[in-house]
Amino acid sequence: MANSKSFRLILILGCLAALAPFSIDMYLPGFKSIAKDLNTDVPNVSLSLATFFIGISAGQLLYGPLLDKFGRKKPLYFGLSLFILSSISCLFVKSIDQLIILRFIQAIGCCSASVAAIAMVRDLFTVEESPKVFASLMLVIAVSPMLAPTAGGYLITALGWKSVFVFLGLMAILMLFASKWWLPESYKPDANYSLKPKPILSNFLTVLKEPSFYTYALVSAITFSGLFAYVSSSPVVFMDLYKVTETGYGWIFALLSVFFIGFSQVNSYILRWFTSKRIVFWALLAQCIFSVLFLFSAVYNLLNLYTTIAFIALFLGCLGFINPNASALSLAPFKKNAGSASALMGALQMGLGALASAAISMFAADVVWPMPAVMTVAALVGLFCLLIGGRKIRNTTTNP
């Protein structure tokens, strides 16, 4: 595949995968404004984020079979159209309940983009190329936390929080046209693929029985829930506790994203000398150490704005190593069921992200420690799953 075509493919796939992070991050600086306009409080506004996570998790399971039945592009078109319509509808909400419902519908549409993008990486690139391609996708995806909250902060300050949904709708329209014109159909529709519940569940079970999938998909999803804990609690931690302005919060978010981007790109280079499995193990071990230190510092009131930023940066840097390698390893065994495998992986990530977000909202809003607590649990449980699952993979390999 020519380099220019590869670059264009990766850029479009990355932008599709970035639609969900933009939808999550861009309206975060507007939580206070939304609460004021809709006569509610910030914790209730954060429920619209939790329901978005739930919607995008459930939607992944819907699109996985559709991608395997109809090819990659038709379900993608449907999802992007639904996202555009729900984004427009958000302009007319009068209550927080309406926003929560529309964010759920928006998530159902949005997740078509991320599931299709991941499945198409498996379709269009070899197993050896996939970790590098996922790292390149992460470069595009990770730009979104740099741009989205900062742009959202300025948009909200200038035009109000509803302008964010205008921007998201326009972004989805551009993605719809780019997908139509420049993305190839990477998977031939399977007329024999049944959309009845029993065959769909059978396909999902086939994927779940693969040790490489359940090990590395769980590791990816569990550690990713630490990212959602940070995203959900960061408006309160930075703007309420540390008194950072809306635009200042956007710049902090952007700064932290640099670590996610930087380490995911360093990953592409160190793959020349180390295997994906080895990188995942050592990065996860380091993440456990950093998160425990972060929690200890929070519990004993040793944190300030700068040390909080430093610990989050270290956690996200480790995630930059873990996520692209774990994603590639979990999808490596599949060709025929790549859509279902991609959907399950995404559902696990977003489902656990929703739980992490909900867990954060249960704690008091005047302390920092719930954020590092969830991050620590995510890192430690992720390491436990890797150690147990790795043993199963080795046994399967030696005793086929």
d(CA 177, CA 197): 32
Q: Are 107 and 53 spatial neighbours (Cβ–Cβ below 8 Å)?
A: yes
Q: What is the pLDDT of residue 102?
A: 96
Structure tokens that stand for 6 in this block:
């590869």
Give the count of beta carbons closer than 10 Å to the beta carbon of residue 98.
Answer: 15
Q: Please work out, in degrees rounded to the nearest 5, the angle formed at the alpha carbon of residue 298 by the alpha carbons of 295 and 300.
A: 110
pLDDT tens digit at each of 400 positions of the chain: 445 567 788 888 888 988 988 898 888 888 889 999 999 887 788 888 888 888 887 887 788 778 878 888 899 999 999 999 999 999 999 999 999 999 999 999 998 888 888 778 877 777 667 767 776 776 666 667 667 877 888 899 899 999 999 999 999 999 999 998 988 877 777 777 667 777 777 777 777 777 788 788 888 888 888 887 887 788 778 887 888 887 788 788 778 877 777 777 777 777 778 888 888 889 999 999 999 999 999 998 888 999 999 999 999 888 888 887 887 788 776 666 666 777 777 777 777 877 777 777 676 667 788 888 889 998 998 889 888 877 776 655 444 4
Question: 8-180+195-398: what fold?
Answer: Growth Hormone; Chain: A; (1.20.1250)
Owner of token pair 């972060």: 294
Owner of token pair 């995510």: 378
Taking CA atoms, 204 is separated from 108, 326, 340, 392, in Å, by 19, 19, 6, 19
d(CA 277, CA 386): 10
Q: What is the pLDDT of residue 400?
A: 41
Q: Which of 122, 114, 119, 115 is closest to 141 using CA atoms? A: 114
Residues whose CB falls within 8 Å of the CB of residue 218, separated by 6 or more in sequence, listed in order: 348, 382, 385, 389
Q: What is the pLDDT of residue 46?
A: 80
160 torsion bin: left (phi>0), alpha (psi -120 to 50), beta (else): left
Q: What is the pLDDT of residue 2?
A: 46
- pTM attached to this predicted model: 0.69
Is the Cα dihedral 293, 299, 300, 306 positive or negative? positive
Residues whose CB falls within 8 Å of the CB of residue 234, separated by 6 or more in sequence, listed in order: 28, 249, 253, 371
Owner of token pair 């940066």: 313
Q: Which of 107, 103, 93, 112 is closest to 46 using CA atoms? A: 103
Burial of 306 (0-12, 13-18, 19+ CB in 10 A): exposed
Q: Which of 316, 369, 380, 323 is closest to 349 using CA atoms? A: 323
d(CA 142, CA 164): 19
Using DSSP, how many helices (H) and how many strands (E) does the chain show?
A: 14, 0
Residues whose CB falls within 8 Å of the CB of residue 97, separated by 6 or more in sequence, listed in order: none
Q: What is the pLDDT of residue 399?
A: 43
Looking at residue 237, its amino acid is V
The H or E element spanning position 192 is none
